[in-house]
Structure formats: structure tokens, C-alpha cells
Amino acid sequence: MSTYDYDLITIGAGSGGVSASRYAASMDARVAICEAGRVGGTCVLRGCVPKKIFMYSAQFADAFADAGGYGWQLPQAPVFELSRLTAAKNVEIDRLELEYRRALAASGAKLLSGRAEVLDPHTVQINGEKLTAQRLLIATGGSPNRPDIPGIELAVTSTEMLELTAPPRRLLILGSGYIGVEFAGIYHSFGSAVKLAYRGELPLRGFDGDLRKRLAKAMEDRGIELHRGFHPVRLERVGDEYICHGNDGLQLHADLVLNAMGRSPNTANLGLEQAGVALDPQTSAVKVDAYSRSSVPSIFAVGDVTDRLNLTPVAIAEGRAFVDTEFGGVPRSVNHATVASAVFSQPPLGHIGLSEEQAVQDGHRIQVFEADFRPMRNVLPGRNERSYMKLVVDADSNKVLGLHMIGTDAPEIVQGLAVAVTMGASKRDFDATVAVHPTMAEEFVLMRKPRA
């Protein structure tokens, strides 16, 4: 019989922590999970889920604009009220939080409300009480970066963007990662004049260059102002407006500024260093091995706090692999190399595997197959936005190394095809697949000639 109070104490009730705790409890482990705030974590409370609700709302702007092309006459110009959307979203988030609490309780994992601190490799203190466990799991997630830019505290973060009750007249977004481009599209559709300012030449560093170029063009065509090569050096408030100064003297004016300059792991004030847990000196992330074990053998970490691949499904996969390894007797690690992801920009994009640039850099001899077309849906409304799909194929083995798409429904299409790419599908497998017609996705199985 164990001398510890629990088999597992998890700190952080977000996607990674909750799924690992429930799964461990289902294997009859005695589990406690500590959470200082609401249950659900970034994804459910202030990330993926509310963002997607806002994105669905934003899509109505296109639908209303295109309705006439399909024979629909609107009796009057549609009116958007962000306050109604935010209120409805909050009701749904409350429901989901309750669902998370219910699922945790049903699993047998005990939820402890309060801020937890690690005292030593097997002890956690919460609400003045010391509790011990054979293993500790750190799943505290991340929070927005505050780069060292004077006045940056005047900017809001993605959290506040999901609580606004009226769109700002002029919105300035600093940073062009996932969060920057997603909110640019959403608030542009809500009626804000959006400026997206970033230090590179194209948004979404790390994504395939052809998708990045097309996204930049599509955003500009929609009326989003892009400020390339902009390095913010100071933000100030003058009267009712904000002024962001760039290093080249350029000043950008706005009524609200969104800081979308990345996120950092939540490792401060957790007692990790005193327990001997090694943190990355640059990012403060918990350093872990392939099995999510930290430098202290009894302490593990999953999700954004480890800064590996900061995506909800990855945190969940890491949590389940940890439980299989430590409680199920089946050692298992997560393959971070082939993970699909999507950006809910306008138009959205999705991808899995290597970009063309990465494939070349990795020394592959490649063939590129692509399709660039105006989707049928856009023709009658006179919308010129195009879709683009690309397969990066290893010329020697014929294996599909990367699959990329920008266009309506790209996230859904890529999720389906991700199975094939994860299984190691070849271009011949794509060619042997009969198309579903008429769809956009069929283009992925109809690309016959490689790019010259």
C-alpha cells in the first residue's frame, strides 16, 4: 500500500491536466487535480473554443455579402451587436466548464480549488495543506508574453479580445502568429479597421511560403492593412487614442491595441526550481524528455508549460502518453513531427508535415504538386478570393512529406487527409483515390503534374 496521499497530483485543470487526470483515474489511480481559477484552461475558457465561436460569427459577414449572388435579398442591412455574441459565448463557456467539472467528478479525480505550490519531489501545498503523491504532473499552460516594450501594458491580450462588448473603430495588432492573424480576420468582419503590424516580411513565420504569401494577399484584398517589417519600440496613450512607435519612426494610431507577440510557459511561483526541476533558461519552460519526465524523476509536465508544440490536442496526447507509460505499463511517447494544425484566419489554412522550405532544408529532393483556383462558391457572388492546395512529395520515395491548404474549410479538409499523411501515404495513394465531386478537397487527388 502506497504511503502517499495520492498516486498522482496534477497542477492545472486545462486540456492536458484534465485529460491526464481523468485517464489515470480510469486506471484506478488515486488522483487529485489542483486549479487556482476556473476549470477548462486556455482552450476552453479564453482560447480555441471562444475564438471559434467568434470566428463562426465573423463568417456571417461573408455570407451576408455573398447572399445576393445566390438570389437572396436581405430586407435590410444586417446589424451586428458584439455584446450579444459575447454574452451568448459566455453562457456556452459556463456550460462547458460545468461539463468539465462533471466529467472530472465522474472519473473519480478529486478537484482541489486553490493555488498549488510544489514543496519537494512528492509534496504539493494547497490552501495551507500539504499533500503527497507518488507522481506530480505540471500542466499549468502559458500566458501572453509582455515583450520589453515601454507602454506594452496598455495593450490588451487575446483574453480581453474575447470579452469586448463593442468592436474598436481602429484596431492595431502587434504580432502575426496564430493569434494575430485570427483576430485580424475576426475583428475586420466585425467592422473594425484593422492594422496588422509585424517584424517579418510575411505573416505566420514557419508556415509554407506559398500559404503565407496568399494569406497576406487575401488579408490585404479584404481591407486589412499590413505593416511589414514593423518593430514596435514604444506604445503610448494620447487622449483617446493609442500611438505605437516603430523603430523606423513610423507611428501607428488606434483605439485599441492587441499584443499578440507570443505566449510564455506558466512556471513562476510554482516552487519548481526549489524542488530541483530544470527550466529552459530562455523560455522558462519545464524541460522534459520524450516521456514528459522532468529533471526530477517523480515530476512530469505536459502541454504549453513545456513549450514543445503548443496546441491543445498535443497537450492531450502528451497527457495520455504519460498515463499509459506511468500507470498503464505501456511506455509511449508522442510524435511531434507529424501534427496537423489550422489557423482560423480569413481564409483559413491547414497543414501537416513539412513546408516546401523545410523539406529542402532537410535535404529532400522534392516534387511540388499544387492547385490554385477560384472556388465555385465564389463565382456567383463575384468574390475573387482563391483557394490553394499543395503537396510536397519526396521525389525518391514518392512519400507525401507535407500537405498544405489555404481556403474555405481548409481545417476540416486537412484533418481528414492528416490520417493518410500520418500513415505515410505516397503520392501514388493520392492518385489512386477516386474524387468526391464536386468538392474543393477533390483537387488533392487530381494533381497530376509536378510544378516545373
CB of 141 to ligand NDP, least distance (A): 10
Kind of pairing, strands 193-197 and 129-138?
Answer: unpaired
Residues belonging to the chain: 452
CB of 55 to ligand NDP, least distance (A): 10
**From CA 5, how far away is CA 9, in angstroms rounded?**
9
User: Terminus-to-terminus CA distance in the chain, angstroms?
Assistant: 68
* Residue with Cβ nearer ligand NDP (313 or 375): 313
CB of 138 to ligand NDP, least distance (A): 18
* Residue with Cβ nearer ligand NDP (49 or 447): 49
**From CA 288, how far away is CA 50, in angstroms rounded?**
30
* Residue with Cβ nearer ligand NDP (14 or 394): 14
Using rule CB under 6 A, residue 205 touches ligand NDP = yes
Residues 17, 141, 180, 265: which binds ligand NDP (CB under 6 A)? 180
CB of 260 to ligand NDP, least distance (A): 5
Site string for ligand NDP, 104-143 (x = CB under 6 A): ----------------------------------------
Minimal CB distance residue for ligand NDP: 177
* Residue with Cβ nearer ligand NDP (198 or 388): 198
The residues assigned a catalytic role are 437
Residues 29, 260, 299, 301: which binds ligand NDP (CB under 6 A)? 260
The 10 Å Cβ neighbour count of residue 40 is 23
Q: Return the closest-CA partner of residue 287 out of 275, 271, 305, 274.
A: 305
* Residue with Cβ nearer ligand NDP (260 or 389): 260
Residues 68, 147, 150, 209: which binds ligand NDP (CB under 6 A)? 147
Using rule CB under 6 A, residue 178 touches ligand NDP = yes
Using rule CB under 6 A, residue 262 touches ligand NDP = yes
CB of 158 to ligand NDP, least distance (A): 7
* Residue with Cβ nearer ligand NDP (227 or 399): 227
Helix 82-107 with 48-67: angle, nearest 10 deg: 140
Which range of residues in 32-40, 113-121, 260-268, 353-361 is near ligand NDP by CB under 6 A? 260-268
User: Cα 271 from chain centroid?
Assistant: 28
CB of 41 to ligand NDP, least distance (A): 12
The 10 Å Cβ neighbour count of residue 180 is 23
- Count the site residues for ligand NDP by CB under 6 A: 23
**From CA 351, how far away is CA 394, in angstroms rounded?**
17
Q: Is the peptide bond before 381 cis (omega within 30 degrees of 0)?
A: no
| Alpha-carbon distances of 317 from 23, 49, 67, 375, 401, rounded to whole Å | 11, 18, 41, 35, 22
How is the beta sheet containing 170-174 ordered, strand by strand?
225-227, 193-197, 170-174, 256-259
**From CA 142, how far away is CA 315, in angstroms rounded?**
12
Site string for ligand NDP, 50-79 (x = CB under 6 A): ------------------------------
CB of 178 to ligand NDP, least distance (A): 4
Residue 176 CB-density burial (10 A; 0-12 exposed, 13-18 middle, 19+ buried): buried
Cell of 355: 513546408
* Residue with Cβ nearer ligand NDP (86 or 176): 176
Residues 37, 78, 200, 276: which binds ligand NDP (CB under 6 A)? 200
Q: Taking CB under 6 A as the criterion, which residues in 304-363 touch ligand NDP?
A: 310-311, 341-344
* Residue with Cβ nearer ligand NDP (46 or 390): 46
Residues 6+ apart with CB under 8 A from 130: 119, 123, 124
Q: Return the closest-CA partner of residue 436 out of 446, 421, 427, 422.
A: 446
Q: Taking CB under 6 A as the criterion, which residues in 386-445 touch ligand NDP?
A: none
Q: Where does this chain bind ligand NDP (CB under 6 A)?
A: 147, 175-180, 182, 198-200, 205, 232, 260-263, 310-311, 341-344
